[in-house]
Amino acid sequence: MRVIICGAGQVGWQIAWHLSGESNDVTIIDNDPDLVRRAGDTLDVRGLHGFASYPDVLENAGAPDADMIIAATQSDEVNMVVCQVAHSVFSIPKKIARLRAESYLRAIDSNLYQRDHMPIDVVISPEREVAEAALSRFRAPSAFDIESFLDGEAELLGISLGEDCPVVNTPLKQLSELFSTLRAVVVGVRRDKTIFAPKSADQLLPHDDIYLMSHSEDVVRALEIFGKSHSSTERAVIIGGGSVGLAVAKALENSPDRARVKVIERNRQCAELAADALERTIVINGDGLDREILAEAGIEKADAVLCVTDDDKANLLAAVRAKEAGCSAAICLVNDHTLLPLLRPMRIDAHINPRATTVSSILKHVRQGSVRAIYSIGDAEAEVIEAEVLSPSPIAGKTMREAGFPDGALVGALRKGGDLIRPSGGTRIDEGDIIVIFALKKVVPEVDRLLQVSLDYF
């Protein structure tokens, strides 16, 4: 597949890395020569310096023969023009645009993004993706990561194991025997900064970060087994009243649980806009690092604090101060992945990586065919892929043991008919089943081959 990516920033670079590693012909465009040089030097892609919305630049990038264009520059307007030019001049079949402005996003429900008007096939909103990720973290504050699969029937939980975890130093096979009715599978383990897919003889150790695929009805029990408490978020404090914080506060206002929420926003104008947009939420104009402001927000009684300002370091410090003041759980927005190793020593419970959420959303639309959802883990070190088993797939009609999944890939859940089951070696995979697979980055192409994803590309 021939793909043009407009924008060589964090998201564009990450998408290029994913797609170029899967034998796609990728060209990346940016008007910053340093970013273009970095992409060309580190990835198997063609880098092109220029303005992505210019027809001659797109032509030089191979637009006449491209199958897809992904517009991920920093400008909404440039991304929209890119898609228009790609459609009107070059007839590129698939056009994906990243849009940030809420006004543009509200137009999704109108006829704006249609072939006869503004021909964008898929609109990706980083702010909405991050807001949804934040809401999911509130469902299980003791997990550092959480993502839903199989229409909400299964949850991927990231859990940090403490010294007091009751199941450490126990082989996974023995855990399966001890908790035979628990519909959950440990699909990934991060140990000493390296992530791997465990085997049945492997043991979990204190300070491991594990990824657990669990039936949604078994999440509470699974957390307890791995030494984590589970409590609903009845009181929440959000530090940062921008687009993400505002979206989360609105969603919490409308949730059935009717959580009590307070928002702290440093910028007065932004705080006033948030206060006007919210009905039951109290908005405080002040610094989220100020102890008195945190006390005014009732941080000592809060079940969780969500730090979503546009400054990573401020988010980390605010989370630490909130925990110090008595808040039960702290969730941070962190753009810089090099800061993630600091989370554990700083006692921060969970984080949201905007780049990972946006990349996951784009990949879901890039890999069509049998793929229903994709979630990128860590710094794109692994993926969790949800896909329907098609009749020509090499795994259809075989048991898990016979299917030939590569080392580094584990099946975490399988929906057969209307039933979600915990897979075992003898479980048969049939056409029409929905399967969820954890795969290290290096084996994703092999998993795609087993699912016949590559044959279903555009």
- In sequence order, what are the beta bridge partners of 411? 437
Classified as helix, coil or strand, 162 is coil
354-366 and 10-20 are packed helices; what angle lies between their axes, rounded to 10 degrees? Answer: 40
Cα dist from 27 to 101, 117, 268, 291, 304, whole Å: 26, 27, 43, 49, 43
Q: Does domain 130-225 have CATH number 3.40.47.10?
A: no
Q: Which CATH architecture has domain 357-456?
A: 2-Layer Sandwich (3.30)
Closest alpha carbon to 372 in 405, 413, 341: 413
253-262 pLDDT, tens digit per residue, is 887 777 889 9
207: exposed, middle or buried (C-beta count within 10 Å: 0-12, 13-18, 19+)? middle
At the top level of CATH, the class of 2-124 is alpha beta
Q: What is the pLDDT of residue 337?
A: 80
Q: What is the pLDDT of residue 363?
A: 80
User: Contact 331/306 with Cβ under 8 angstroms?
Assistant: yes
pLDDT lower than 70: segments of the chain: 109-110, 367-369, 452-458
Q: What is the pLDDT of residue 150?
A: 93
Q: What is the pLDDT of residue 109?
A: 64
Instruction: Enter the tokens of residue 209.
Output: 């970060």
d(C-alpha 261, C-alpha 269), whole Å: 20
Closest alpha carbon to 213 in 437, 443, 419, 38: 437
Q: What is the pLDDT of residue 8?
A: 92
User: Contact 142/173 with Cβ under 8 angstroms?
Assistant: no
Q: What is the pLDDT of residue 369?
A: 57
d(C-alpha 323, C-alpha 289), whole Å: 12
Q: What is the pLDDT of residue 131?
A: 84
Do the domains 238-352 and 2-124 match in fold? yes
d(C-alpha 376, C-alpha 127), whole Å: 17
Q: What is the pLDDT of residue 110?
A: 67
- In sequence order, what are the beta bridge partners of 387? 371, 435
- Torsion, Cα 13 239 244 4, to 10 degrees, reads -10
What residue spans define the domains of the chain? 2-124, 130-225, 238-352, 357-456
- In sequence order, what are the beta bridge partners of 376? 383
382-395 pLDDT, tens digit per residue, is 999 999 998 888 89
For 152-239, where are the E strands, in sequence order? Answer: 154-160, 184-191, 194-196, 209-215, 235-239
User: Contact 218/140 with Cβ under 8 angstroms?
Assistant: no
Q: Side-chain half-sphere of 20: how many Cα atoms within 13 Å?
A: 20
Classified as helix, coil or strand, 189 is strand
Model pTM score: 0.80
Q: Does domain 238-352 have CATH number 3.10.580.10?
A: no
Quote the Cα angle for 188-447-61, to 5°.
110
Locate tokens 């990346």: which residue?
28
Q: What is the pLDDT of residue 437?
A: 96
Q: What is the pLDDT of residue 456?
A: 42
195-205 pLDDT, tens digit per residue, is 999 999 999 99
